[in-house]
A and B are shown apart, each in its own frame.
Chain A
């Protein structure tokens, strides 16, 4: 009788897993594979299946200047805004992580608020605000706006890790004579490193793919890749869009592989 119940549970689990895999493949993996396949099409317009293989659209990507400029701007922006978000988010998370003062919860909610607001509203508002400050549509504005949306990810992940670590380590460090800075650099930061890494990874990827914020700040000097891609698609739809999307996906995968190689994806977000 017991064996029968176990077999039933195994069968249901197996069927559920199979169902999950099918849904994953059909709705997540297949569309991505179609985009990659179309990037290698020899046709001058988007069609699937493709009649024959060609690299012409990757050549187009390499020769269409706005794509390359947009890719460079997006990468620079993602790195710079992630670094700034970490500089702001990590100290903020440490300040509110163990604080029992009444303002701490309010401040935590405030720092997380950018992700609770439609990004297109945030972008529109920031455009007018930063224009009043004289920054207007520029790389500096893009950097400020992307930092604003990156900070919540740093604050959330670092606060979570920091609260899960007992205060004993910092207290022991103080009892053994370490100053506040020494405790911070030798004890606290190494312990919360997985949270910083996770937050930085989220902030980087959110910035790299962002459209609704970047849309308002494109300038002749600095337009991000998603904005350039949108404009391209609105007036022309050939497989170059699939090719640049493939390049963008490969770059995101390289970031994840580098993280895996040097840090380990499984360690991200887990207490050190």
Chain B
């Protein structure tokens, strides 16, 4: 970690020196051994990273890891602004932005030499990410529904058909939600006979369903929509569904549709020019022991098949082999056009 760190306590000294920084080349100051900086999403994800992964890493390595909460776009901007001395060593990412980070030269390729635990993980996952990172956890987007819906749809085809006929009201993400291109547009297109290059079936279906759709912009909205009766069924990730169920929403049910839910994994990447100590941290993230604990805490499947799932979780979690993965690169290239089309056709 080579970023110049400025704490609040040494701010006074910094203020005097600030005007001289460009001349002194402050970005090159002190590449002393420092703790690595890793990232996490907030909430229970952060608690899990800190108490499971960081704790394991610090125990076996003797090094420290500091956790920065936030989101991939924020971290990527910070790395891009300071490529030579990035303020972050390890980022969590989504599939599409993971590939963007690779193409922009912000991250390094993964190899078994650097990450021995990579050898246990199916090659298919590495290929999907073109070697720019590895899946840490999986989240499958299937159907979460209220128990009052006695005959829920079992497939995307049935979901579309029943919604058009008014059998139920469905909550779908709108164009403002980051996962919409994958979990809704591509998913519907693929399930209804289209493809990533032909999303007409998806747009046609959304237009026809629209009178019985409650659109949401935030991942936090579907539970409220389902409980209030504004929707009976929603596209929603399995892990969140079960977390809400355990949190008191006992009326909540979940189905992995016949075609397979769309998997949106959380991916770990090593930042280029970041500390090499980060490799050991990432190897810890991919190890079966820590991943077994992560599954228990997050209700999300992890990437190492050697991770142990308790039987009650095995019944809940959708195996990634039963999910669909959107072609990330093609979706990333097409999504700006899809959003523009959405604004013209769906929002019109």
Binds B, one of A110-118, A183-191, A215-223: A215-223
Residue of A nearest to B244 (CB): A45
B247 touches A216 (CB 8 A): no
Q: How far is the CA of A235 from the CA of B44 in the complex (A)?
A: 8
B78-94 interface bits toward A, Cβ cutoff 8 Å, 1 = contact, 0 = none: 10011001010000000
**Interface size class of chain B, counting residues whose CB lies under 8 Å from the partner chain:** 35 or more
Q: How far is the CA of A27 from the CA of B346 in the complex (A)?
A: 27
Q: How far is the CA of A235 from the CA of B85 in the complex (A)?
A: 29
A125-146 interface bits toward B, Cβ cutoff 8 Å, 1 = contact, 0 = none: 0011001111111111101000
B32 proximal to A (CB < 8 A): no
Which of A45, A46, A127, A143 is in CB contact (< 8 Å) with B11? A143
Assuming the contacts A221-B5, A234-B42, A235-B43, asked whether A136 and B87 have C-beta atoms less than 8 A apart, the reply is yes
A14-41 interface bits toward B, Cβ cutoff 8 Å, 1 = contact, 0 = none: 0000000000000000000000000000
A234 touches B244 (CB 8 A): no
Assuming the contacts A47-B223, A127-B81, A232-B42, asked whether A76 and B8 have C-beta atoms less than 8 A apart, the reply is yes
B244 touches A232 (CB 8 A): no
Q: Which residues of B contact A234 (CB under 8 A)?
A: 41-42, 71, 219
A198-242 interface bits toward B, Cβ cutoff 8 Å, 1 = contact, 0 = none: 000000000000000001101111110001111111111110000
Q: How far is the CA of A147 from the CA of B252 in the complex (A)?
A: 47
Least CB distance from B31 to A in Å reads: 13
B81 touches A66 (CB 8 A): no
Q: Which residues of B contact A232 (CB under 8 A)?
A: 42-43, 46, 69
Q: Which residues of B contact A44 (CB under 8 A)?
A: 244, 246-249
Least CB distance from A241 to B in Å reads: 8
Q: How far is the CA of A47 from the CA of B45 in the complex (A)?
A: 22
Assuming the contacts A45-B249, A221-B5, A231-B69, asked whether A136 and B78 have C-beta atoms less than 8 A apart, the reply is yes
B74 proximal to A (CB < 8 A): yes
Taking A134-B4, A223-B69 as known contacts, 10 extra A-B pairs with beta carbons closer than 8 A to each other, sorted by chain A number, are A47-B223, A127-B77, A131-B81, A134-B26, A136-B81, A140-B18, A216-B78, A219-B87, A227-B70, A234-B42
